[in-house]
A and B are shown apart, each in its own frame.
Chain A
Amino acid sequence: VQLVESGGGLVQPGGSLRLSCAASQFTFSRFWMNWVRQAPGKGLEWVANIDPDGSENYYVDSVKGRFTISRDNAENSLYLQMNNVRVEDTAVYFCARRVGSGSSQSTSYYYYGLDVWGQGTTVTVSS
């Protein structure tokens, strides 16, 4: 079971970047997926998640309207489109798999943690 992120790099403020996360050795289409970031020397911050079929997604307030999470189940891939990036978006971005089904809006909210993480890809926003 593996997640491998790519697409990070240096981007100027206001620019765009698309991160990818390639999944292998598990049935990707059955899992909620997440992006979590870690600014240099700082703690973890949850960024976004998406349901198994891509119809439901959520974002932390600081990236709403700028970032878009998506997935391609045929390609076993997760994406994060980052637009209008800011200096404060500088971080290592991890993708992580959530075990369990359903969302918190129902009583059938089955959750067993974020059990598989990628190695991360580094995004640096600087002029």
Chain B
Amino acid sequence: DVVMTQSPLSLSVSPGEPASISCRSSQSLRHSNGYTYLDWYLQKPGQSPQLLIYLGSNRASGVPDRFSGSGSGTDFTLKISRVEAEDVGVYYCMQALQTGKYSFGQGTKLEIK
């Protein structure tokens, strides 16, 4: 099974400053079709998770362009170019390489300084 490891597990960022979260998988998430099956989700306090990024680098509908995803193989990064107060919450990476074996990272809690 694919194990997802995020770092850091928490970070505190001042408004307007950048933030970066790393996600590493125990095996390559590149499918034989050439796509890489890595998502990023944000769970704001008291809310359900929401999709931010799919296939490693594609922003979901309505997601501000200050969010970007990058990476390949086993190493991925979510970057927020300028953190805003509404970005607080827990960020999760999730792999979907195999239809029946999705798995999430432990989560990274973002707080505002």
Residues of A in contact with B (beta carbons under 8 Å apart): 32, 34, 36, 43-46, 49, 56-61, 94, 96, 99, 103-105, 107-109, 111-115, 117-120
In the complex, how many residue pairs between chain A and chain B have their CB atoms under 8 Å apart?
84
Are B48 and A119 interface neighbours, CB within 8 A?
yes
B binding-site residues for A, Cβ under 8 Å: 1, 31-33, 35, 37, 39, 41, 43, 48-51, 53-55, 58, 60-61, 90, 92, 94, 96-107
List 27 A–B pairs whose Cβ atoms lie within 8 Å, in order of A's numbering: A34-B102, A43-B90, A43-B104, A43-B105, A43-B107, A44-B43, A45-B104, A46-B102, A46-B104, A58-B99, A60-B101, A94-B49, A107-B33, A109-B99, A111-B37, A111-B54, A112-B55, A112-B58, A113-B39, A113-B53, A113-B55, A114-B49, A114-B94, A115-B51, A115-B61, A117-B48, A118-B48
In the complex, A44 Cα to B31 Cα: how many Å? 23
- What does DSSP make chain B's interface, helix, strand, loop or mixed? loop
Contact of A117 among B49, B55, B61, B105 (CB under 8 A): B49
